[in-house]
Amino acid sequence: MPEVFSCVESLVIKDGAVFGFGWIFHEQQEITALRLRLSLTKEKFSSVEHVAATMGKSREDVQEKFVGQARALHSGFVLLGAFPVAAQIDAIVLECSLADGSLVEIPVDNSSVVQFSSSAAGEKNKLMLRQFGVFLKRGVRLIRAGKLSSLVEKAGRYLKGRPRTALRGPGDLVAIFQEDERRDLSIIVDHDLGGGANHYRNRLVDAIIEEGRSAIVMTYHVPTLSHMLILWNKRVHLRYAIPDRQFFLEAVKQLSVSEIVYNTAVSFIKPDEIPQLLIGLKALTGAHLKILAHDYFLVCPSHFLLDYEGKYCHIPEASVCAKCLPKNQQGFATLFVERDIRKWRAIWGSLFAAADEIVAFSNNTAQLLIKAYPQLDRARVSITPHKVEHLTSGPVRVRNTDPLCIGVVGHIGFHKGAAFVQALAREIKDRDTNLKIVVIGSLEARSEPSVVSQTGAYQHDELAGMIERCGANVMLFPSICPETFSYVVQELIDLKLPVASFNFGAPAERLACYPNGLVLASMDPARVLDELISFHRKIYLSP
């Protein structure tokens, strides 16, 4: 009988939040959905909470262990969610839905679970040692397979992000700064997940340091479910865990702050408390409060604006949202325990009202903010497109002009269009053509190997050369959500390449004005393939 192979490598539970990772695959079937089921008891009442997992993560170590199992490579999963804080957990089960409609239930072994509270520093240290041990265990197989660089990259990313130690009292923060560094500080609230928002934040911090000032980034370290401060100036670059947000407010009382910047609060536990924190910081310091709309977390806990079915919702009436949000498992939606969209918008609307400056990076983003918050004065939202670091290589020389070869750039997860690329590859195979898809980066989905190839991770300055070498001649930006801005699309435009995207978000706004741009009329794989074939013919084969 075919088996499900799985391992929950780490599951952290702290103050009503849960974070975990591991791997799972079935010998013969695709896994269509994966979620954690928590059986809870609170004041003698029983309830069940579910936390959806993000699947399709690359696990080369699992592939090495299960040689010949095609589904092992993309077997990795990650999950993050929340549940009522005072509830007691009675049982934890991993629910695995298979393509044939059957459900497999896998009890989670207690040896994988670490539970602790904000005050338990010893447990936090034990957790970090355990998680690092998991990476080392994974690394043994990668070393045996001759993939040392992959191990170094994964372990380095984890070690770089963790806090060096914890601050014990509010005065500890003040003591780190020299007297002349305690004035004119900037506070930035931001996630620490990487990507465009962090890239923007790092450039912002660079500018602050260049002015001779200091920056404090309040962020959230997801692997340990801990609030963290990153301190930056010309002298220091340090990471410290802190117990909670109230601790931060107490510490800031002893500093002179001139600027507060909301970058994004995606991945923060209890995100509905962030607006009041920012308003409290402004009242405490009298600082200038700026909101940056890097995503749509300001609009909905499903910050990619994907509904419970995983489709772009276009921000419907609040009554539709009220039915969707309780069922929505997309992104970080489950971190808002109350699941009440009216309450969410009232809370974040108060932040808009308190802000001194609101910045969007495209007209489309501003329009969507106004759609969600009709009371927001459009004149208060300034449009400031991102500045992109231009590639020094100049335009890409496309040597392979025929047949069509579709290029996709980046780390393509679910919201970036992994399932669509997978479906497009099936369409190409079903038509029995010689067309190919090349992912310059990686794809979090098992795809047709005869159609799809992947280059793996790349450095920014390698992009042009990799596109030239892989033979891509039409670029597709397959994101299924309305991006507020896309560095990738802008870079492809700078390289003078033909680029196509779906008809929403900042990329479509930009491509509509680009001579070699195509705004797709459909999201159906067959129709999209027809559009791309016609686009390719127009670019390269028309007289």
pLDDT of 291 = 99
Dump pLDDT digits (tens) for 308-356: 999 999 999 999 999 999 999 998 999 999 999 999 999 999 999 999 9
Residues 336, 241 share a domain: yes
Cross-strand pairs, 106: 94
Residues 74, 113 share a domain: yes
| Greatest mean pLDDT among 343-352, 441-450, 454-463 | 343-352
Residues 374, 274 share a domain: yes
Q: Which of 383, 416, 436 is at the close of a domain? A: 383
In a domain, residue 374? The reply is: yes
Q: Which of 160, 178, 212 is at the close of a domain? A: 160
Residues 45, 90 share a domain: yes
Least confident range from 69-73, 146-150, 403-407: namely 146-150
In a domain, residue 397? The reply is: no
Dump pLDDT digits (tens) for 202-259: 999 999 999 999 999 999 999 889 999 999 999 999 999 999 999 999 999 999 999 9
* Strand (E) or helix (H) holding 420: helix 418-430
Beta strands across the sheet bearing 103-107? 103-107, 88-98, 31-42, 45-57, 76-82, 17-26, 4-14, 113-116
pLDDT over 90 percentage in the chain: 78
pLDDT of 140 = 55
User: What is the pLDDT confidence band of residue 139, given thresholds at 50, 70 and 90?
Assistant: low
Asked if pLDDT for residue 152 goes beyond 70, the answer is no
Average pLDDT of the residues in 496-504: 98
Q: Burial of 403 by CB count in 10 Å (0-12 exposed, 13-18 middle, 19+ buried)?
A: middle
d(CA 40, CA 46): 6
- Tell me if residue 102 falls in helix, strand or coil: coil
pLDDT of 94 = 97
Residues 141, 169 share a domain: no
DSSP characters over 278-337: HHHHHHHH--EEEEEESSSTTT-SSTT-B-TTSSB-----HHHHHHHGGG--STTGGGST
Dump pLDDT digits (tens) for 157-208: 555 678 888 999 999 999 999 999 999 999 999 999 998 999 999 999 999 9
d(CA 334, CA 431): 40
Percentage helix, strand, coil, to 5, in the chain? 35, 30, 35
pLDDT of 132 = 59
- Tell me if residue 121 falls in helix, strand or coil: helix
CATH number, domain containing residue 469: 3.40.50.2000
d(CA 327, CA 486): 29
Q: How far apart are the first and last CA of the chain?
A: 59
- Tell me if residue 189 falls in helix, strand or coil: strand
In a domain, residue 388? The reply is: no
**The CA-based dihedral angle spanning residues 45, 50, 51, 56, taken in that order and rounded to the nearest 10 degrees:** 160
Write out the two tokens for 66. 């299960």
φ/ψ of 39, rounded to 5, equals -90, 120
d(CA 425, CA 430): 9
Dump pLDDT digits (tens) for 357-399: 999 999 999 999 999 999 999 999 999 988 877 666 678 999 8
In a domain, residue 97? The reply is: yes
In a domain, residue 399? The reply is: no
- Tell me if residue 374 falls in helix, strand or coil: coil
Closest by CA position to 12, among listed 22, 24, 25, 26: 22
Residues 345, 205 share a domain: yes
CATH number, domain containing residue 147: 2.60.40
In a domain, residue 363? The reply is: yes
Residues in the chain, total:
543
Write out the two tokens for 16. 């009503």
Q: Which of 160, 176, 209 is at the close of a domain? A: 160
3-class SS letters over 351-372: HHHHCCEEEECCHHHHHHHHHH
pLDDT of 389 = 72
Under 8 Å CB-to-CB from 522, ≥6 apart: which residues?
Answer: 528, 531
CATH number, domain containing residue 365: 3.40.50
Q: List the domain range (segments joined by +) for residue 156.
A: 4-160
Residues 172, 156 share a domain: no
Cross-strand pairs, 262: 189, 291
Asked if pLDDT for residue 124 goes beyond 80, the answer is no
Dump pLDDT digits (tens) for 4-40: 999 999 899 998 999 999 999 999 999 999 999 999 9
List, in sequence order, the alpha helices (H) in 66-166: 121-144, 148-161
Residues 129, 209 share a domain: no
Q: Is the pTM of this model over 0.85?
A: yes
Higher-confidence residue: 47 or 535? 535
Average pLDDT of the residues in 488-499: 95
Asked if pLDDT for residue 46 goes beyond 70, the answer is yes
User: What is the pLDDT confidence band of residue 425, given thresholds at 50, 70 and 90?
Assistant: very high
pLDDT of 133 = 64
Rg (CA), the chain: 24
In a domain, residue 389? The reply is: no
How many independent structural domains does the chain possess?
3
CA pseudo-torsion sign 519, 523, 527, 533:
positive
Residues 528, 415 share a domain: yes
User: What is the pLDDT confidence band of residue 127, given thresholds at 50, 70 and 90?
Assistant: low
Asked if pLDDT for residue 119 goes beyond 90, the answer is no
Residues 117, 54 share a domain: yes
DSSP characters over 457-520: ---GGGHHHHHHHHT--EEEE--SS--S--HHHHHHHHTT--EEE-SSHHHHHHHTTSTTEEE-
Residues 129, 174 share a domain: no
pLDDT of 129 = 59
Residues 185, 134 share a domain: no
pLDDT of 112 = 78
Say if CB 401 and CB 540 are below 8 A apart: yes
Closest by CA position to 388, among listed 256, 490, 278, 255: 490
User: What is the pLDDT confidence band of residue 153, given thresholds at 50, 70 and 90?
Assistant: low
d(CA 248, CA 488): 36
Higher-confidence residue: 130 or 209? 209
Average pLDDT, the chain: 91
In a domain, residue 532? The reply is: yes
pLDDT of 44 = 80
pLDDT of 115 = 77
d(CA 482, CA 367): 12
Dump pLDDT digits (tens) for 211-221: 999 999 999 99
pLDDT of 150 = 55
